[in-house]
Amino acid sequence: MKLIYLLTGVLICCCSFSNCDKEENFTCVEFKDEVATLDSDPIQATNYVNALLSPLFPYPTFEDPTGHEANLILFAEKLEQHCNVDVTIECYGCIETFPVQSHVLVKIDSAGVIVNRTLDIRTPADTVMTLQGIHQ
């Protein structure tokens, strides 16, 4: 009887983990589609990027007054790993808006064609970063 409970628990855990992977991959597919096509209302891409950015709070220092440089690097690494895309930080806090913005270049394979898109990331010093927009 204990063996049946153990096997049932293992089966439930395995199903839970595989569902998470499927949801994450599905989200990446939607992210890639919306970014590659420059969707006019990229809800899934925005939600996905903001979910990756949401736990990354700023830690300002003398060298990094905005406090997000390490966070932006971590975001780029996560996006690259999770969605299998090439990510390059073009600039950090270089767009002088309020708050400043950073540019992150994403290269996506869209049916054998490499598509380059720039993510504009709001980079405030007092809260988490968020996606501002997507463009060529």
Q: How far apart are CA 63 and CA 93, in angstroms?
A: 13
Token pair for 91: 């600039």
pLDDT in tens, the chain (136 residues): 443 333 333 333 333 333 344 445 568 999 999 999 999 999 999 999 999 999 999 999 999 999 999 999 999 999 999 999 999 999 999 999 999 999 999 999 988 999 999 999 999 999 999 999 999 9
pTM for the full predicted model: 0.80
Q: Are 108 and 114 in contact (CB under 8 A)?
A: yes
